Structure formats: structure tokens, C-alpha cells
Structure 1
Amino acid sequence: MKNRVLLFLKKVGSECFEKVVVVSHKGPLRAILSEFYKTNFVSGECDSSSENIYLLEVRDGKIMDVKVIE
């Protein structure tokens, strides 16, 4: 079974705000989010002025798939 984590990112000015909604993940979230940022944002910041919603599918502490929800 895949675990799912919803991640909301919104950039306001130069600040990036995140909100994590745990759908069915058990385990350390910071490691998952760190991996997500390294893989998806070279600068480590969100780059859009709009809100971005990502569905992360996680297995054994690794991100298996990232879906962008419009």
C-alpha cells in the first residue's frame, strides 16, 4: 500500500509557506519533504505566486510519485 501526503505550497512575497495534510503516511515527514524539495526545487523554494498542491505517494520512506493537483 502506498502512503499519501498532500502538500500545499504558497509563495507570498519572498516567503514560501507550506501546509502538509497527512492522508495516510506513517513515519518521518521531514525526510520526505526534504527529498521532495531537493528533487523538485533546485533553489529549495517554491517558485510560483499561486498556490501549488502536490500529492506525494510514498513507499518505504521514499517518494515514488508526485502528482500536481490543479
Structure 2
Amino acid sequence: MIFSSDYDVKSFSTLSEFTKRDANIDPDLYIFDVKLPDGSEIDLCADIKNNNHGKDLPVIMMSANAKN
């Protein structure tokens, strides 16, 4: 992972893993893949933004899914 040498990066491959994270750790940034297998990252982003701890945190949502 490109950030791992300079930052403390936490990686989760599913929404379920993300929801089990240590919620006491406040990140500086969230980066989400739009196409995780077990949930809507758009809903997750809305949940984060509606939470007092996450409302001011930047969120980047991306996808490697290319349409032909």
C-alpha cells in the first residue's frame, strides 16, 4: 500500500470489517471503494457525515470498476 510507510493505515476489505474497527480512533481521512461486497458505501458515507465525530472528516470514494 502506498501510504503505509508514512501513515498509520487501517485497511478493511468489507463493510462488516469496517464496522468492527476501533471506533475510538479518529482518522484524518477515509478512502472507500464504492463496490464493497456487503453494503452501500454511499450510505456509509452519509452515516459518517451525520456523526459528530465524522462530519468534518474528508471522504474519498472511488472505484476500479470500468464500464465498457
Same fold (TM over 0.5): no
Task: Give the strand-richer structure, 1 or 2.
Answer: 1
Higher relative contact order (CA closer than 8 Å, sequence separation 6+): 1
Q: Report the TM-score, using the length of structure 2 for normalisation.
A: 0.31
